[in-house]
Structure 1
Amino acid sequence: MKNLLTVLAVMLTAQLFAQSHEIIKHDGEKLNVNFIKIESNLVYYTLPNSMEEQKISRYAVAQLNEKSNKKSQILSNKINLTQKSEYKKVIILKESETIGLKTSGDLTLFFGKTKGQTKQSLASMGEKRLKENAAQKGNPFIVITSNKTDDLKATAYTY
C-alpha cells in the first residue's frame, strides 16, 4: 500500500516539475510543450495538461526554446527553393517523418531506359529528376512512393 501511494504521488507531482518548452515551427506557429526527446528526425513531446506522447517532424520545427533557463536550440533551417538548379537542397523523407509538414501535391515522372544502364543508375537518375521537379515547384521535401523505372511517383511536402 505504501508503494502504491508513493508511485501515485510521484506521478501526480511529476507534472508540476516538468520543464516547459516552446516549439516554434517554420510556419510561425508556437506550441507550449513538455519536451521529451529527439530521435530519428522526430521531436517527441507532450502537451502541458496531457500525458499522451506526440511527435512532429524535426524539419517542421525551426527552434526549441527552454523557458526555465532561456536556452534556445535551432533544430532545422528553413529551405527556400526558387529554381530547378537547387535540387540538391531537396530532402527525401520517409512517410513517418512528415508529421507537421503540409502535403503540396504529387509528382509523377516517366523516362525511358537506355540500353546498358543499371538499375542503380536508373534509380539515382530518377531521384535526381524528382528532386529537380520538386525544386522547380518550391517543395523542399519529397517522399518517394513508387520507384519503378517506368512510373516514378513522389509526394511533395512543404512547411
Structure 2
Amino acid sequence: MKNLFIAFTILFTTSLIAQTHQIIKHDGETMDINFIKTANNLVYYTLPQSVEEKTISQYAVAQLNEKSKSDSKIISEKIQLNGKSDYKKVVVLKKHQTIGLKESGIITSFYGGTKGESPLSFSDNGEKRLKQNAALKGSAFIVILSNKPKDLKAAIYTY
C-alpha cells in the first residue's frame, strides 16, 4: 500500500513539473515553458524547473502549443508592412511590452504644428508621423520616447 501511494505521488508530481506548453515566436525560435496566462499584451510563463514568473510580449509570440493535448492557439498574427502607406498597422507599445522583440534603432522626426492646433491634435499627428517613419523602415512596433514639438523620437522594434 505504501509503495502504491509513493508511485501515485511521483506520477502526479511529475505531471505538475512537466513542460506543458511550447511557444513558437515569429522569428522561428521555440521555447518549452509552463504557460500561466495572457494579460495586458504580455504572455506570463515559467521555465521548466523554475518557479520564477517571466513575461514575453504577446506580439513576439506567434503560437502556443499545448503538448499534452496537441492543441495549439494563435497568440498574434505577424504584421507585414509594405511601406509608408501601412503606417496604420504599426503598434505603439510601452517599454515593458517589448520583451522578446528586437530593438532595431531610434527614429526622429520634426512636426511643426499649425497655429491654433490643440495639444491633443499635435500629439496625434506626431504619433502618426513616427508611425509613418517606422513603416518606411519596416518596423511594426514603436515605443514613443518623446512627443514634444520639434523633438519627436521613438525606438523601433522588429521580430
Q: TM-score, normalised by structure 2?
A: 0.89
Paired with 1:18 and 1:49, the residues of 2 have a C-alpha distance of: 9
Paired with 1:86 and 1:154, the residues of 2 have a C-alpha distance of: 17
Consecutive unaligned residues of structure 1, counting only runs of 5 or more, are 1-8
Runs of 4+ in 1 over 3 A off after TM superposition: 14-19
Consecutive unaligned residues of structure 2, counting only runs of 5 or more, are 1-8
Paired with 1:111 and 1:92, the residues of 2 have a C-alpha distance of: 18
Supply the AA of the counterpart residue of 1:85. S
**Secondary structure at 2:88 match in 1:** helix
Q: TM-score, normalised by structure 1?
A: 0.89
Supply the AA of the counterpart residue of 1:78. K
Q: Number of paired residues?
A: 150
Q: Is the 8 A contact 1:19 1:66 kept in 2?
A: no
Q: CA deviation at 1:52?
A: 1.1
**1:74-101, Cα deviation, whole Å (9 max, x unpaired):** 0000011121000000000000100000
Q: Is the 8 A contact 1:32 1:48 kept in 2?
A: yes
Q: Is the 8 A contact 1:105 1:157 kept in 2?
A: yes
Supply the AA of the counterpart residue of 1:76. S
> In the alignment, does 2:49 pair up with 1:49?
yes
Aligned Cα root-mean-square deviation (Å) = 1.8
Give the % identical residues: 62
Paired with 1:97 and 1:16, the residues of 2 have a C-alpha distance of: 29
